[in-house]
Chain A
Amino acid sequence: MTATTARAAVGRPYTRVEGPDKVTGRARFAGDVRVPGLAYGWVVPASIARGRVRSRDVAATLAMPGVLAVLSPENAPRLGDTGDATLRVLQDDRVPHYGAPVALVVADTPERAREAAETMRVAYVEEPHDARFRPDHPRRYAPEHVNPGAPTATGKGDVDAALAAAPVVVDARYTTPAQHNNPIEPHSATALWAHGRVILHDTTQAPYASARTLAALFGYPPGTVRVVAEHVGGGFGSKGLPRPEAVLALMASALVGRPVRVTFTRPQMFPLTGYRTPTAQRVRLGADAGGRLLAVEQTATQQTSTLLEFTEQTASYARAMYPADNLRTDHRVVRLDVPTPRWMRAPGTAPGSFGLESAMDELAEACGVDPVALRLRNDTRLEPATGRPFSSRRLAECLREGARRFGWAGRDPRPAVRRDGRWWWGTGVAGAHHGAGVGPTVAHATAYPSGRFDVRVGAVDIGTGARTALTQVAADALGVGPEQVTVHVGDSDTGLAQGAGGSMGTASWSWPVVAACRELVRRLAAGEPVPATGLTCAYDTTAELRDRDDLARYAFGAHFAEVAVDVVTGEVRVPRMTGVFAVGRVVNPLTARSQLMGGMVMGVSCALFEESRMDAAFGDFVNHNLADYPVATSADIGAVDVAFVDDPDGALNPSGVKGLGEIGIVGVAAAVANAVWHATGVRQRHLPVTPARAAL
């Protein structure tokens, strides 16, 4: 048991531990769990944007076949305040936005629950509403902070003076639309009570935080709620916080005394599970004739709901990317009668990179400098906004390696010169960064007399491959082969754990896993006996994380895209993309490559197709389905090349991991839009780049 393995597991490709379960259909997701006596809850969504419910015809609904109960403010429990008003559903008759739950119908079959919910008569007192986002909205204001607790504004030097004096200036406005996460698995929660506790099978990226929040919300003693998420069908941020399906399932099961499952329909997901706010950005760049930056300014205006102030940190992209003695970033937000925006893959950096990386391309054009060379000319070892040293920054290596792999050398920089029959051809580049954070987590490692090991940590594998990566990490820390280790995730009972989001998962979870395993090895080496029930060591990183060096920790990357634009119709295709990334140590190159590739695919989708269409007359995202909200299909994706550059960084965590779930999407839209400019000569400052916009 103490012999070191001949070859380390970390750094080698392993097929996913749960892979056989996923390809055979054995893997059970939240809505698959078989529960005897299950009843079904179906949401009744508001059909006004602002006002109150005047009446509900509960009696008529209760009389319908199979209906067990109707939850409304009249019988719903009073909930506490956990700081997220989107969870305080059915508390009063106020309607905060279109689609907000005004009742929940519980019935014995899904067909009966659905029909009863959809025919329930609800009358409203409607108030005038404002759901129209405008960058110059008169009620926009500067919030006290932006997500996730960062300063709203930063300022260094004098941007206005520097721009006035700069030989070359770019001043452009960019917009990105509202976009929805749309994981293929709809949100679904199943609540069942047993022995004074409730088990909630929920589609969540963060079982521990969710269990604590829900217990506090309902005023239950801590530990009453156990949240389990063995497999989650994607989240991309929409499952990173508790959502109303969990609250409603808990309410309903307590009311009817039976397990209850609440699953949102795809249309219901649009107002109730978060989305990325639209952004209206302005980027101003000032440079010398050779393209060296003298001034950088990025500002963004966005929307939030009347329930909760959430300001996406779009302009903070410029804080960490390109250096200038004069640097300013700022945000404004406006509260509208709209659903509440929240996290969608790479908050801040996804939309912010579109603005800044597009502006850099316009600067390259204005200076007559190659866009890769321009970025190499503007590299730095210090975080531009703060002056903190980066723990590591290999952006230049990503750009150079990417240019080599993609075949960038010898590119004719002139736009609209390459035509081949039906298509205009162009290529584009963009940089990328995303923060590499760590959150407090507890892990337990257990040795058994058989020589097998169990590792328990409150992680969730939402498709990232975390379960497998952690198995490799644990195996190496234990000095055994991965086949001797079983990693258990997805259970709030395991204890404090960072959620699967923010690219913080593997970094946060591997830390205590390594520490607990090493402690276990030490104790075993010291001859401690192993009882039949196992010898367990636990480790909690909370205290250690408070004392970290104040370094700027980021992953970096570079994206290259080749596009073809149809000369007749403006349809845009992306036959070829390359992404090169510096993401610290890569635990599993197979799953890491898949994650990054997946981010790039979502990036193409967001660049070309995705727009959540708000009809302000109703306050509703009217294209609330997967046909009218088009996401990329297999036919839209060509060759996707992913590579890593070595990125050793001793200032991160024991595994040297940076997280890579989000950086794959960052910069892709800019690379594609820059390529469309190169193909056609027309700048694309507004997403998505539809045929209408790209056609000449």
Chain B
Amino acid sequence: MPQLSSTVRLVVNGTAYDLEVDNRTTLLDALRERLNLTGAKKGCDHGQCGACTVLLDGRRVDSCLLFAVAVDGRSVTTVEGLAPGDELHPMQAAFLAHDAFQCGYCTPGQICSAIGVLDEAAAGWPSAVSDGTAVLDEDEIRERMSGNLCRCGAYPQIVAAVAEVWRG
């Protein structure tokens, strides 16, 4: 009799959760439907919009294209886990100050992705617009954030917020 569901352990925002999941359950749906962490959003369910972006062992990923069972034992950071209590992560504060959002639906994904961008840049990763220099300028930020769609069109302010946090 094939086993069509599994027990998985997900460490989310520092807390370990043991869940029995239908193997078809994506990480995104596990977070939203099972753990009530609805910050990560379903915009397209096919990795085409980035609204579901979370950090998996510190790397930004589209959680809609990962089965929960395939990330058993791994560590996930969602927007809810970026800062304790009422505090704001510097990226969250920058988004607020720059009005880098409007409807707010893509925002958790943007913020998680932006944090990933800064880590990748700090690690010296190139991008499609890199010309060998290590500077995270506006063109680099635009390119690296291109996997997070914002239909409200808040891109200029998003780029400004990310640039501000990069500069520290």
Contact = CB atoms under 8 A, between A and B. Distances in A.
Q: Do chains A and B touch in the complex (CB under 8 A)?
A: yes
Interface of A: 15-16, 18-29, 31-32, 34, 109-112, 115, 182-186, 231-234, 236, 263, 265-266, 462-465, 590-591, 593-595, 597-602, 625-627, 631-635, 637, 639-640
A632 B153 contact: yes
A91 to B, nearest CB: 29
B158 interface: yes
29 contacts: A15-B99, A19-B101, A20-B86, A20-B88, A23-B79, A23-B93, A24-B79, A25-B80, A29-B38, A31-B42, A34-B36, A115-B24, A183-B103, A184-B41, A184-B150, A185-B43, A233-B41, A233-B106, A234-B152, A265-B45, A462-B103, A463-B102, A463-B103, A463-B152, A464-B102, A594-B154, A625-B46, A626-B43, A635-B143
B22 interface: yes
B45 to A, nearest CB: 6
B153 A602 contact: yes
Contacts of A266: 43-46, 48
Given A25-B108, A625-B48, A598 B153 contact: yes
A597 B149 contact: no
A31 B40 CA distance: 12
Contacts of A112: 22
B157 interface: yes
Given A22-B101, A599-B153, A626-B44, 6 more contacts: A23-B79, A23-B96, A184-B106, A185-B103, A633-B147, A637-B153
Given A23-B111, A110-B33, A635-B142, A598 B48 contact: no
Contacts of A593: 99
Nearest to A595: B102
Contacts of A28: 38
A598 B104 contact: no
Nearest to B4: A65
A16 B99 contact: yes
Contacts of A236: 151
B25 interface: yes
Nearest to A114: B24
Contact of B150 (A25, A186, A634): A634
B104 A463 contact: yes
B103 A597 contact: no
Nearest to A628: B48
Q: Which 4 A-B pairs have the closest CB atoms?
A: A25-B39, A601-B153, A233-B105, A463-B103
Interface string B97-124: 1010111111110010000000000000
Contact of A637 (B22, B48, B80, B142): B142
Contacts of A265: 45
Interface SS, B side: loop
B152 to A, nearest CB: 5
B7 interface: no
Interface in B110-168: 111, 141-143, 145-159
B141 to A, nearest CB: 8
A24 B80 contact: yes
Given A111-B22, A637-B142, A602 B151 contact: yes
A218 to B, nearest CB: 28
B51 A184 contact: yes
Contact of A234 (B37, B151, B157): B151
B49 A465 contact: no
Contact of B97 (A15, A464, A632): A15
Contacts of B106: 184, 233
B149 A231 contact: no
B103 A25 contact: no
Nearest to B97: A15
Contacts of B143: 634-635
B105 A23 contact: no
B59 interface: no
B131 to A, nearest CB: 14
A32 B102 contact: no
A266 B41 CA distance: 13
B63 interface: no
Given A20-B96, A23-B95, A183-B103, A627 B36 contact: no
A19 B37 CA distance: 18
Which among B78, B92, B97, B159 has the greatest number of chain A C-beta atoms within 10 A? Answer: B92
A25 B38 contact: yes
A598 B22 contact: no
B23 to A, nearest CB: 9
Contacts of A20: 86, 88, 96
A45 to B, nearest CB: 16
A184 B142 CA distance: 19
A521 B82 CA distance: 43
Nearest to A66: B22
Contact of A109 (B22, B108, B150): B22
Which among B44, B97, B156 has the greatest number of chain A C-beta atoms within 10 A? Answer: B156
Contacts of B158: 634
A598 B79 contact: no
B96 A232 contact: no
